[in-house]
Structure 1
Amino acid sequence: MAGRTAPAPEPHHDQRLTPQPRGAPPVTDTLPETTTPQKTLSEALGATRLAGLLAEHTGEPITPADVEQLVADDHLTSCDSYKGWPLYATADALALDVELVRKIVADRVEWEQASLPRDAAAERIGWHWSDIARMGREGRITTGRGERYLIADLDKLAEEADGEQYITAQAAATDVLEIRPTDFKYVEAAGWIEPADTYKRAVGRHRTVTVALYRLGDVRALLDMPGVDWEAARGLAKGAPSPLREYAKLAPTRAAVVRGFAQALADRHGVTVWAWNSPYSGSWELDWERIDGGPTKETVRQELTDNPAAGSYAAEITLCPTWGRITRKARTLLQPDAAVILDTETTDLYGQTVEIAVIDTATGRKLMDTLVKPTTKITPGAHWVHGISDDDVADARPWEKILPRLRKVTKDRIICAYNAEFDRSVVLGDTHRAGKKPLHLEPWDNWFCLMDAYAKWVGSNRWLRLGGGHRAAGDCETARDVLIRMSKGRGSSFTPRPPAPGDPVPGPPAGTVLASPAVPDA
């Protein structure tokens, strides 16, 4: 009730009211704000967080490498894992003997001061990193924690093993022989030197190349070869012929061999062949058009294996890649009366149609191009994309009036669309709203997604923007350009060459299984 003072509450049974000095703050049930709440520890931690906890606990500069050493020495064991990373019991870690942990840290620090990581070790003595790794595997350099190498052994190795290090062809040519790197191929082709080892080097994000390495001592020995005028091979202008080419007849390159095989395949079977050197894998990919009586994958694989030149590269040639299948499908869709390309513009994302166009894939001829009056307003976002306003479609025909024409121009055709899932759902949505039956517009088998096909053809795991003007007819034409591009295959195209007068008709490679005469029926 207003105006009355509530009685003071009785002290709680466990409160202790004691006299306070004058000016002292009153006793309360809460802790002072300066009190730090006790940290709650996880029952298990990964190596990085556990290292931080142990560092705080012991006062030592503990790293995840020290935790890994504790595990390697069986002082800690994994109790769980998270996304493949091991977890260790916090209680077990805190129960470790502090002196044991300090010794682990001291041993690591001492080793780090006396050693170098691989790349720094290679830089110290001017060797290739693969030499350092090789010498470590052979036990000629002491290796230890963190894949590090003992400095004392490195310095000794630089003095005692000079000439045993490996160098690249570039270094062999420019630093030792003092010739153009492009001329080193003649040295190899002459049989004077062979690679001692190889390694894989990353090129970009998805590709690696094989790099040959040569023993330095072997390269130096080339300088003492009798009869070779190295001085004449030095200081040559770019493009000038090298005198070293007289010592070797170069074998054809892999590219020349693959292209030759592709052309012979086209001539032999009367089919168009596509050959592409993938910049991602470095290997070649090969496909061909399918015709009645044409070669199968097994046939081509056998011809490739039996081919004297291309057979050595068989493991580096992929037959019938994904882009090849899509290329063949695109060629089918471009046949007369095989397919159409459809595009819609809508009131909103997955909204109602405001414009629809259909063109013939074979000719590009417009079969349908019309505005459509929706039953809802066009959103500002959609208008910003395609530029069609409510006023533009005010006098247009509604969906039920244009549906008969759409059914007619798409009947018995594959309906291609750049994002077929979107256009199909829009068409079906408008048809159901109009109370009509979609008929052949509904089955997924009657649709073909150009966007999905193009992404796979290019080798992308993301959909690729069409880049049209966001009007239905223009987008159909741009989508047709994509279809035509896919139909041409990747890389180089090889078409059958007519035999010259008097030339024999091309057949299987001589001496192969396929060239064997047929066995007459018994």
Structure 2
Amino acid sequence: MREIVFDTETTGLDPKDGHRLVEFAGIELHERVATGRVIHFHVNPGRPMPPEAEAVHGLTDEFLADKPPFRSMAPQLLDFLGDAVLVAHNAGFDMRFLNHELEAAGFAPLDGGRVIDTLELARKRLPGAKHTLDALCSRFGIDRSARVLHGALIDAELLAEVYVELTGGRQIGFDLAVEAARPVESARRIRQARHFELSPADLEAHARFVASMKDPLWEDIARTTQA
């Protein structure tokens, strides 16, 4: 199954108030494994960046000034998404902005039925716990040290790892690969070879058995080697 784990950054909380999407990032998964295919872009929102939003993601008017409008990126985005299942944290927020931008650019909105919300998954699996992305990373031991500010790409990368944990945990192959790379001594204790003494009776019995064999294979090998 093909899935796209994605995140957005915006100028505010609601497109109905005139706020716009400014960054999108999506990570492709196949059968819960990252394929290496990524889409990531910034867009010029066509409006000033509120200070409170800039404080969250660090995206300034100056940085976004030369970025393309969303309508220029929409065909590339839709081509990347294809018919994949979409995965986001608090997906309703991201989908409102994404569909608002698509419709404003003259494209059909995305079907909400193809979306998985990891916030809802976390609430069902971990009732009573904190369900922020930071809290989930901490719970699952996912390194988030690179997340100084919110950013669509780093958040999508972290969410992809969280999503795998919420839906069954890391692939067993990773553990096997780590185990195989360890020195044998660290995995198990190596026992010294044991030495067995044969009695004269055993040796005689073995000699009689060998002599009774017709055309033993090792004689052919010996003749071939000596030739």
Per-residue CA distance 1:240-271 (angstroms, 9 max, x = gap): xxxxxxxxxxxxxxxxxxxxxxxxxxxxxxxx
Task: Please list every run of 5 or more consecutive structure 1 residues that lacks an aligned counterpart in the other structure.
Answer: 1-334, 490-522
Give the structure 1 partner of residue 78 of structure 2.
407
- The C-alpha deviation readout for 1:401-449, integer Å capped at 9, x for no partner, is 1101111111110011111100000011112223x1225x2x1111111
Q: Does 1:353 align with 2:17?
A: no
- The answer to whether residue 170 in structure 2 is matched with residue 472 in structure 1 is no
Partner of 1:387: 58
- Structure 2 counterpart of 1:133: none
Distance 2:53 2:61 in 1: 11
Greater helix fraction, Structure 1 or Structure 2:
2
**2:156 equivalent to 1:488:** no
SS of residue matched to 1:397? coil
Render the CA deviation track for 1:384-405: whole Å, top value 9, x for unaligned: 0000001111000101011011
Distance 1:374 1:355, change over 3 A: same
Q: Distance in 1 between matches of 2:161 and 2:6?
A: 13
TM-score normalised by length of structure 2: 0.61
Q: Does 1:437 align with 2:107?
A: yes
Distance 2:96 2:157 in 1: 21
- Residue 448 (structure 1) aligned with residue 119 (structure 2): no
Contact persistence 1:364–1:480 (CA under 8 A): no
SS of corresponding position for 2:7: strand
Q: Secondary structure at the match of 2:48?
A: coil
Q: Give 2:4's aligned residue.
A: 340
Q: Indicate the SS of the match to 1:391.
A: helix
RMSD: 1.7
Larger Rg: 1
Cα distance change, pair 386–406 in 1 and its aligned pair in 2 (3 A): same
Mapping for residues 281-430 of structure 1, pairs under 5 Å: 335=1, 338-350=2-14, 351-361=19-29, 362-363=33-34, 365-430=36-101
CA distance in structure 1 between the aligned counterparts of 2:102 and 2:130, rounded to whole angstroms: 27
Letter in 2 for 1:354: V
Give the C-alpha shift of residue 354 in structure 1.
0.9
- Count of residues in Structure 1 that have an aligned counterpart in Structure 2: 149
Distance 1:364 1:463, change over 3 A: farther
Give the CA deviation at 1:488.
2.7
Larger mean CA deviation between 363-372 and 346-355 belongs to 363-372
Deviation of 1:464 after TM superposition, in Å, equals: 1.3
User: Which letter maps to 2:3?
Assistant: A
The alpha carbon displacement at 1:455 in A equals 1.8
Partner SS for 1:396: coil
Which one scores higher on RCO, CA 8 angstroms, separation ≥ 6?
A: 2
Does the 8 Å CA contact 1:451/1:463 hold for their aligned counterparts? no
Moved over 6 A (4+): none
Identify if the C-alpha distance between structure 1 residues 340 and 471 changes in structure 2 by more than 3 Å, giving closer, same or farther: same
Same amino acid, percent of matched pairs: 26
> CA–CA distance in 2 between the matches of 1:475 and 1:422?
14
Give 3-state SS (helix, strand or coil) of 2:27's partner: strand
1:240-251 equivalences in 2 (<5 Å): none
Structure 2 unaligned residues grouped into runs of 5+: 135-146, 170-227
CA contact (8 A) 1:344 1:357 kept: yes
TM-score between the two structures when normalised by the length of structure 1: 0.28
**In 2, distance between residues paired with 1:463 and 1:402?**
35
